[in-house]
């Protein structure tokens, strides 16, 4: 088409300076009108200017990446807004340009798509996993508003996988695992089959390069005979269809490496035993012709029992439709055959992307609607907890549906293989799941954890006062059920935690001869505020859950002058010496460290509330802990603060061979690790060996481990060990 941009003089200046632009404009010019192509070219020049000076790890200009991602989408023949968003998808993240500027220049739709794809790198998270989960949460929620967000993200990920060789081995493996766990299943869930296959192939190659190479070489060796063998079967089927005057296209298809690898894993069989590496696809004109064709195919080769699947009458949740059958080929070799119409084939290859192809005024959004029904559930799911829980729920929900079930009224529900009665109840409605007490499967009573099979009819029995059982979380498989159960139990646990927290604080306040009923609301609110909480209920909840210590909260309340009208004692808080280390949450209390086990930062610890000594911290492995377990009400759950510059006492027992100067040699070695020796005790064990007991000042557990490694390398040293409840001095 003569779009005004195809002349060499009009493009050469911009395209020659922008790698990948010429190819992109050629593809979009084949199906989009001139004004849309001009808009895409403007976006490319805008992005090239924004990314000027930036390089990829492969060494090429950064603009090559967004243009390549846009070309992936152009091959799917999507609309101009999606192409423009793909070109600009890294502009907000990697340049100073803001979303508002994109909205002014290219429209609100494009700006929203780009914002949905943008990662959340500017926010500080506790861990990389949390940042990844939060970015994924944001992207999926943006998909609810506009499904084109995921098209851009998948194209972005596909090009990153194509050029992943520039990454370090560790980074390659992390990205490949994420691709196989999340993005490839997501592409399949949305019907983007071609993208899914390439993502799996690239992810498999990057994550397991050796396994990929072995399977690839084995298939190359077997490919010649298999193809010749398959061509004869295709010829026989095509001949039979032609005799029946049924127009059809018969083509061979090859299973992809990752699919073969997964089958080897799932069935625990070697590659030599996988015989259905190749299959056939039959494409006809109408759904009626599909059923006629299946009869013809079964008349040529005998079908394998139990291997026929009708995805036309009952489509997969992503809109995929086909008839699947497995035939006994020559010599008994199984041959997989798919039969579908041309429209079904278009949806199978392009999925939801097929509906953003440029069509003047046409609207065909069946698969979009089905995809949005799934995405709408994400809204409720994401409110249930942390980003990591959300990511786990989505991952569980991404795998293809395998089980088709019926309600008593004949409605079809699709659930993953392994789904239980409880999964079915929550699939009907969240309230039905929450009030579920029993079920009938094919009119017979069945336990709630019963695993459902294809074609069963399930009736759920509910009761008004029923509630979810926490044990259900251990056997449900769908994200919706897991999320709903957790959400209900969280609300239930909060009420119980608040009540428990009130009781614990009341018990601790008894030392001050007051109770919560005598404490003013202002005092409780002030105490909650000091702890960084918004209200008193949150304070009680944290105490009930063990995240705050009741004795500490009681101390805060009891030391407040207006805590009680009868409180005449002076504030105890001012009389307490500061702790040598801030154990998290113990500010203002006396903290001491047991000399039976010498706890250090990094050790698992537990604390004991001792009269007159405040909080005494022990290592969890300390033998003396057993004596104190008779008073569980005085044990506190504590943790080390994140950082400290303090030094702590630790004790090492070193068994040495009796040699002249051995003590001086070990002391010198310890001194080289920048460690002070407070005390040394020498005990002769026999004529050949002695035990040296060093009392040291160290920073933490790592520092002590460094000292132990240095001492252990000395030839005179026979054994080094850390003191643990050998004796209970002062404790």
* Residues known to be catalytic: 93-94
Query: Angle 598-600-604 (CA atoms, 0-180°, nearest 5)?
Result: 100
Is 341 within 8 Å of 289 (Cβ atoms)? yes
Is 549 within 8 Å of 607 (Cβ atoms)? no
* Residues forming beta bridges with residue 648, ordered by sequence position: 698
Alpha-carbon distance of 643 to 645, in angstroms, equals 7
Query: Angle 701-703-705 (CA atoms, 0-180°, nearest 5)?
Result: 70
User: Which residues neighbour 668 within 8 Å (Cβ) at sequence distance 6 or greater?
Assistant: none
Nearest partner of 601 among 703, 721, 693, 678, judged by Cα: 703
Is 594 within 8 Å of 618 (Cβ atoms)? yes
Query: Angle 560-562-564 (CA atoms, 0-180°, nearest 5)?
Result: 100
Beta strands in 156-213 (DSSP E): none
How many CA within 13 A on the CB side of residue 676?
A: 8
Question: Residue 496, SS3?
Answer: helix
Is 301 within 8 Å of 277 (Cβ atoms)? no
Alpha-carbon distance of 351 to 334, in angstroms, equals 28
Backbone angle region of 611, left / alpha / beta, with phi > 0 → left and psi within -120 to 50 → alpha: beta
Is 166 within 8 Å of 211 (Cβ atoms)? no
Is 509 within 8 Å of 554 (Cβ atoms)? yes
Helices (H) and strands (E) in the chain, counts: 28, 18
Judged on CB neighbours under 10 Å (0-12, 13-18, 19+), 469 is middle
* Residues forming beta bridges with residue 461, ordered by sequence position: 438
DSSP string, 667-701: HHHHHTTT-EEEEEEEEE-SSSEEEEEEEEEESSH
Alpha-carbon distance of 544 to 550, in angstroms, equals 9
* Residues forming beta bridges with residue 625, ordered by sequence position: none
Alpha-carbon distance of 319 to 314, in angstroms, equals 10
Alpha-carbon distance of 557 to 573, in angstroms, equals 11
Alpha-carbon distance of 116 to 135, in angstroms, equals 9
Report how far apart, in Å, the C-alpha atoms of 508 and of each of 500, 539, 558, 562, 615 are. 13, 15, 10, 18, 14
């Amino acid at each position: 088409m003569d779009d005004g941009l195809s002349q060499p003089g009009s493009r050469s200046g911009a395209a020659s300076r922008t790698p990948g632009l010429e190819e992109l404009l050629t593809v979009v010019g084949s199906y989009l009108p001139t004004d849309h192509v001009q808009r895409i070219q403007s976006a490319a020049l805008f992005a090239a200017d924004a990314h000027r000076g930036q390089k990829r790890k492969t060494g090429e200009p950064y603009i090559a990446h967004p243009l390549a991602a846009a070309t992936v989408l152009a091959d799917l023949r999507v609309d101009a807004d999606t192409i423009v968003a793909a070109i600009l998808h890294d502009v907000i993240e990697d340049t100073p340009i803001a979303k508002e500027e994109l909205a002014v220049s290219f429209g609100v739709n494009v700006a929203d798509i780009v914002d949905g794809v943008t990662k959340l790198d500017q926010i500080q998270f506790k861990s990389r996993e949390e940042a990844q989960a939060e970015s994924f949460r944001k992207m999926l929620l943006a998909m609810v508003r506009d499904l084109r967000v995921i098209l851009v993200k998948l194209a972005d990920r596909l090009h990153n996988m194509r050029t992943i060789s520039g990454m370090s081995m560790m980074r390659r493996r992390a990205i490949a695992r994420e691709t196989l766990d999340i993005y490839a299943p997501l592409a399949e869930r949305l019907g983007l089959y071609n993208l899914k296959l390439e993502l799996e192939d690239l992810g498999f190659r990057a994550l397991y390069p050796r396994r990929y190479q072995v399977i690839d070489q084995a298939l190359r060796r077997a490919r010649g005979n298999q193809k010749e063998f398959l061509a004869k079967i295709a010829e026989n089927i095509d001949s039979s269809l032609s005799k029946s005057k049924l127009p059809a296209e018969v083509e061979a298809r090859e299973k992809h490496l990752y699919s073969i690898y997964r089958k080897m894993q799932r069935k625990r069989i070697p590659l030599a035993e996988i015989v259905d590496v190749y299959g056939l696809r039959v494409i006809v004109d109408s759904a009626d012709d599909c059923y006629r064709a299946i009869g013809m195919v079964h008349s040529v080769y005998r079908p394998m029992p139990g291997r026929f699947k009708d995805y036309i009458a009952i489509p997969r949740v992503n809109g995929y439709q086909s008839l699947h059958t497995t035939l006994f080929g020559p010599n008994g070799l199984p041959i997989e055959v798919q039969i579908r119409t041309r429209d079904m084939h278009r949806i199978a290859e392009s999925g939801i992307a097929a509906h953003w192809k440029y069509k003047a005024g046409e609207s065909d959004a069946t698969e979009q609607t089905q995809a949005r029904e799934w995405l709408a559930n994400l809204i409720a799911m994401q409110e249930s907890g942390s980003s990591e829980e959300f990511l786990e729920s989505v991952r569980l929900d991404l795998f293809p549906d395998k089980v088709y079930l019926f309600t008593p009224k004949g409605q079809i529900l699709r659930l993953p293989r392994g789904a239980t009665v409880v999964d079915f109840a929550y699939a009907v409605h969240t309230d039905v799941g929450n009030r579920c007490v029993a079920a009938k499967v094919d009119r017979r009573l069945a336990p709630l954890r019963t695993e459902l099979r294809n074609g069963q009819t399930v009736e759920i029995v509910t009761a008004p006062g029923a509630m979810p059982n926490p044990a259900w979380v251990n056997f449900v498989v769908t994200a919706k059920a897991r999320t709903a159960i957790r959400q209900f139990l969280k609300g239930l646990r909060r009420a119980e935690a608040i009540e428990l927290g009130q009781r614990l604080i009341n018990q601790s306040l008894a030392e001050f001869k007051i109770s919560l009923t005598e404490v003013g609301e202002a005092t409780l609110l002030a105490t909650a505020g000091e702890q960084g909480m918004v209200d008193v209920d949150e304070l009680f909840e944290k105490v009930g859950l063990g995240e705050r210590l009741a004795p500490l909260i009681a101390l805060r309340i009891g030391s407040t002058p207006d805590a009680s009208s009868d409180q005449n004692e002076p504030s105890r808080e001012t009389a307490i010496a500061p702790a040598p280390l801030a154990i998290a949450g113990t500010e203002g209390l006396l903290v001491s460290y047991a000399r039976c086990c010498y706890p250090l930062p990094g050790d698992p610890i537990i604390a004991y509330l001792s009269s007159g000594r405040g909080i005494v911290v022990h290592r969890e492995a300390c033998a003396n802990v057993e004596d104190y377990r008779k008073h569980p009400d005085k044990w506190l759950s504590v943790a080390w603060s994140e950082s400290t510059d303090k030094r702590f006492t630790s004790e090492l027992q070193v068994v040495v061979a009796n040699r002249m100067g051995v003590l001086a040699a070990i002391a010198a070695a310890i001194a080289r690790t920048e460690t002070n020796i407070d005390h040394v005790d020498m005990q002769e064990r026999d004529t050949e060996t002695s035990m040296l007991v060093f009392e040291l000042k160290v920073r933490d557990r790592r520092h002590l481990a460094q000292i132990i490694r240095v001492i252990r390398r000395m030839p005179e040293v026979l054994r080094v060990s850390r003191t643990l409840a050998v004796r209970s001095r002062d404790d």
